Amino acid sequence: MTARKTLVFFLLVFFITTAYAAEETSAEEKVVKFRNFASISSSLNYNFMAYEQSSSDYSLMTNRPWDLGIGIGLLSLSIGFTFSLPFLYDQNHEQSQSFDINMNIYHKKSFTYAYFKFYSGFNDGADYNTDLTIINAALTWTRVFNDDHSLRSVYNLDRRQTVSNGSFLLGGGMYLTSIQANNQSDNTEFENFRDGENALYLGPSAGFSYTFVFRSNCFINVMSTFGVNIMISGWNTSSGFQALPRFTFGYHGKKWSANIYSKGSYLIAGDISAPDYNIFTGNVGLSFVRRFGGR
């Protein structure tokens, strides 16, 4: 079962690295603010998905998995946009589109994250009549309990954490998932999605983040949050489970920063012991950030 094996792999990496980490002490400032008021970023992402229903397991791939992204940061606000690269698609499927809009707002001890993701043309590479369109949207808030732990330095790249440390995370969010199957599909496994499957998830989440800092200005961050949500689909209400693992390796220079990242989302729709379906979506990518307005 591809989705569960991938989730277990992420969790093993997360817990092993944090279990053996020793927090460093330093007389220098633990979180350094770069003297800039704005930044621009560019990124390249590769998207993937695994879908599982009942005893069936599907590794689905979007028809155009490569996305190019641009973004801008202004003080505590960052906004990013990615879109699928043209000309890179399987001729047996439609020219699927994808785009992703995301926003981060960093507060002193917390951050707000919102996104809207649209992906079409997901298929298993064999059934040329099967194409899934997936829409994900979310609005989340997360409290960081360690003031010396900076997720902003990891993902927004306009801060630099100087010592290794970690922090517990607590928050909550609202998530929307919509799945639509191509009406021409003959695959009965996706029959439930022909008329569209829409689900709203509400609930709290908790997790942990740890950042390893090296003298070369490189860093590694492992983070994951877990949530038990109320799922509302049509007139039905049930429970759901969601895990959001992340891994990042990056470097901070004087005027620029870069990172290689992997982000995942594992969603169990319905009861964990007998779920309606499981979906694992994620992307791996490379991003560069150039900062302006400082010395």
Q: Which residues contact 181 (CB under 8 A, 6 or more apart)?
A: 130, 131, 132, 133, 190, 191, 193, 194
Contacts 24+ apart (CB under 8 A), 269-275: 269/177, 269/199, 269/231, 269/233, 269/238, 269/240, 270/231, 270/238, 270/239, 270/240, 271/238, 271/239, 272/239, 272/241
Q: What pLDDT was estimated at residue 250?
A: 94
Burial status of residue 35 (CB atoms within 10 A of its CB: 0-12, 13-18, 19 or more): exposed
Instruction: Please state, as a whole number, how many other Cβ atoms lie within 10 Å of the Cβ of residue 188.
Output: 8
pLDDT in tens, 213-249: 998 899 999 999 998 878 777 667 777 788 889 999 9
Structural domain tally of the chain? 1
DSSP 211-268: EEE-TTSEEEEEEEEEEEEEEEETTEEEEEEEEEEEEEEEEE-SSEEEEEEEEEEEEE
Q: Which domain holds residue 70?
A: 2-292
Q: d(Cα 57, Cα 273) in Å, to the nearest integer?
A: 16
| CATH at 83 | 2.40.128
Instruction: Please state, as a whole number, how many other Cβ atoms lie within 10 Å of the Cβ of residue 101.
Output: 15
Query: Which residue ranges of the chain lie beneath pLDDT 50?
Result: 17-27
Q: What pLDDT was estimated at residue 3?
A: 54
pTM for this predicted structure: 0.78
Tokens 């009965």 sit on residue = 188
Stated as kind and residue range, the H or E segment containing 15 is helix 2-19
Q: d(Cα 120, Cα 88) in Å, to the nearest integer?
A: 14
CA dist 273 → 23, 81, 198, 233, 239 (Å):
38, 37, 21, 19, 11
